[in-house]
């Protein structure tokens, strides 16, 4: 019998204890969050059961049954068409449910004996209502893709890590995590995927309705300096706008530009600068491409490297080539991930600290925003608490999360030392009365086996 049928009534009663189903505007902030969390949990519980049902529908509709298959007796061409029509979803969504159900249900051997699920850790996470079917399907698809090359033990280890780390992540965050996990499982596949991406780079420029329309597709190595330069410009523009607002120098009636508009202007100004090179006022200070690689991989030519702000890994050969270029810094890490070399460009101590914190936090430690959108902040404030300027007292935060920390009473604690330390966020009592710490930083948003 499904655990959901036993647990669902308690979830429903918990919601009824807070909300009678009237206008949601009647709920307080804490009640609204609590009810939403309950509904999301119930949805995940139902997802787990529906995946099992979908897999059984597919089993009873297998092609060899011919006209006696369940789907055809119900008037459908195949099981996914039956499930999609019943649920009002696409056949792709239905196929995903079947895939998850088949991968997480106990198997029956030819001998008639029961065997564990093909993906037991994902099955456990679904049973605990920790994953949606969509998240489970994304993990299973990646693991199955590299299973033959990675081996059983590595797949099992990665599945266990992902099943524990995925709950609470958005699908965008999980997608980035899976790219890094695939590189760890199949490092030999990084170079072929990179070659394919490099072969397919393109830039289309056309005139349309009196405008210039550009569509670009770049591989990670080619796109990194472009993305870094544009993000550096946009970050400087946003800082200037905030400073003007705080000082009262901004025009309140002036139209606000969107991020897309600022990115377009950044591209224009960068190209103008390249054509004339007479302007030296490009606000790109600190906009540097950082390539990170383990020392053993650098020496042996194995594994892969990563670029700050870029999800897709690059091969060792590409990392070596990029490190030879100007304004690109190579961060070489030893066996314990201590920083051995920051490349040839000399930086001030505070700059080196920031680069080390990127290695620990990955970007914004609270929301996972890329390094180009963050600043280093003192955990114990410099003025109020006489907090020191060292790694143990520093954390990377984007502007939004920085204000959230200070304005809403969150606390930050660092567990461990150096670039392998972990960042924990303690919510204020009005958010979580138990103040249960929440993991952040690279340990939350990146794959670390």
Burial of 57-75, coded b for 16+ CB within 10 Å and e otherwise, reads: bbbebeeeeeeebbbbeee
Q: List own/partner pairs for 105-109 with CB under 8 A and 24 or more apart.
A: 105/52, 105/55
Q: Count Cα atoms within 13 angstroms, Cβ side, for 66.
A: 0
First and final C-alpha spacing in the chain? 35
The DSSP line for 365-389 is TTT---GGGEEEEESS-TTTS---S
- pLDDT, tens digit, 9 for 90 and up, residues 53-81: 999 999 999 999 999 999 999 999 999 99
Residue 34, CA distances (Å) to 29, 142, 244, 302, 329 in order? 9, 33, 38, 47, 46
Contact call for residues 317 and 304 (beta carbons, < 8 A): no
Q: Find, among 367, 291, 281, 279, the residue nearest to 325 by Cα.
A: 291
Which three-class secondary structure state does DSSP give residue 212? strand
Structure tokens at 255: 């139209």
Structure tokens at 193: 């995927």
pTM recorded for the entire structure:
0.80
The dihedral through the CA atoms of 250, 253, 258, 262 has a sign that is negative
The DSSP line for 260-302 is HHHHHHHHHHHHHHHHH--------TT--EEEEEEHHHHHHT-
Structure tokens at 293: 């690689």
Measure CA 54 to chain center.
Answer: 28
pLDDT per position in the chain (449 positions), as tens?
577 888 899 999 999 998 987 789 989 998 999 999 999 999 999 999 999 999 999 999 999 999 999 999 999 999 999 999 999 999 999 999 999 999 999 887 777 788 889 999 999 999 999 999 999 999 999 999 999 999 999 999 999 999 999 999 999 999 999 999 999 999 999 989 888 888 999 999 999 888 899 999 999 888 988 998 898 888 888 888 888 888 887 777 778 889 999 999 999 888 877 776 655 555 555 567 788 888 788 878 888 888 888 888 989 888 887 766 555 666 666 655 555 454 433 333 367 778 888 888 989 999 998 887 888 888 887 656 777 777 788 899 988 898 888 778 899 999 987 777 899 999 998 888 899 999 999 889 988 76
Contact call for residues 194 and 315 (beta carbons, < 8 A): yes
Q: How far apart are CA 165 and CA 131, in angstroms?
A: 10
Q: How far apart are CA 265 and CA 441, in angstroms?
A: 31
Q: Find, among 204, 199, 197, 239, the residue nearest to 220 by Cα.
A: 197
Domains delineated in the chain:
3-185 (no CATH), 349-449 (1.10.30)
Number of H helices, E strands in the chain: 17, 14
Phi, psi of 88 (to 5 degrees): 70, 30
* Contacting residues for 384 by C-beta, under 8 A, at least 6 apart: none
Q: How far apart are CA 431 and CA 410, in angstroms?
A: 9
């Amino acid at each position: 019998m499904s655990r959901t049928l036993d647990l669902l009534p308690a979830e429903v009663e918990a919601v009824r204890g807070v909300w009678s189903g009237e206008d949601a505007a009647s709920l307080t902030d804490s009640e609204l969050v609590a009810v939403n969390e309950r509904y999301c949990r119930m949805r995940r519980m139902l997802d787990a059961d529906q995946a099992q049902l979908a897999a059984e529908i597919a089993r009873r509709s297998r092609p060899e049954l011919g006209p006696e298959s369940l789907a055809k007796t119900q008037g459908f061409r195949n099981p996914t068409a039956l499930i999609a029509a019943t649920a009002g979803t696409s056949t792709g969504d239905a196929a995903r449910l079947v895939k998850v159900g088949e991968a997480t249900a106990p198997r029956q051997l030819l001998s008639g004996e029961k065997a564990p699920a093909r993906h037991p850790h994902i099955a456990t996470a679904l049973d605990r209502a920790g994953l949606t079917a969509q998240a489970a399907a994304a993990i299973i698809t990646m693991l199955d893709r590299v299973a033959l090359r990675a081996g059983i033990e590595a797949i099992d280890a990665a599945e266990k890590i992902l099943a524990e780390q995925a709950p609470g992540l958005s699908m965008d965050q999980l997608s980035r995590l899976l790219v890094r996990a695939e590189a760890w499982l199949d490092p030999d596949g990084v170079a072929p995927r990179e070659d394919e991406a490099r072969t397919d780079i393109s830039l289309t420029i056309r005139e349309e309705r009196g405008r210039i329309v550009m569509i670009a597709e770049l591989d990670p190595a080619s796109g990194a300096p472009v993305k870094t330069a544009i993000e550096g410009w946009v970050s400087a523009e946003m800082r200037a706008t905030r400073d003007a607002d705080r000082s009262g120098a901004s025009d309140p009636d002036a139209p606000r530009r969107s991020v897309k508009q600022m990115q377009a202007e950044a591209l224009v100004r960068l190209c103008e600068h390249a054509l004339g090179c007479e302007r030296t006022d490009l606000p790109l200070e600190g906009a540097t491409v950082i390539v990170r690689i383990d020392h053993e991989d650098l020496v042996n030519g194995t594994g892969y490297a990563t670029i700050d702000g870029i999800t897709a890994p690059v091969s060792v050969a590409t990392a070596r080539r990029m490190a030879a270029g100007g304004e690109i810094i190579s961060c070489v890490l030893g066996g314990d991930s201590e920083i051995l070399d920051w490349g040839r460009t000399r930086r001030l101590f505070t700059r080196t600290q920031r680069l080390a914190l990127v290695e620990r936090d990955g970007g914004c430690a609270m929301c996972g925003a890329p390094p180009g959108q963050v600043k280093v902040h003192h955990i114990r404030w410099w003025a109020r608490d006489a907090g020191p300027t060292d790694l143990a007292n520093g954390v990377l935060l984007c502007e939004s999360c920085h204000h959230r920390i200070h304005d809403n009473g969150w606390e930050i604690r660092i567990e461990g030392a150096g670039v392998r330390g972990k960042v924990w966020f303690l919510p204020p009592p009005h958010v979580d009365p138990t103040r249960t710490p929440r993991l952040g930083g690279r340990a939350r948003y990146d794959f670390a086996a």
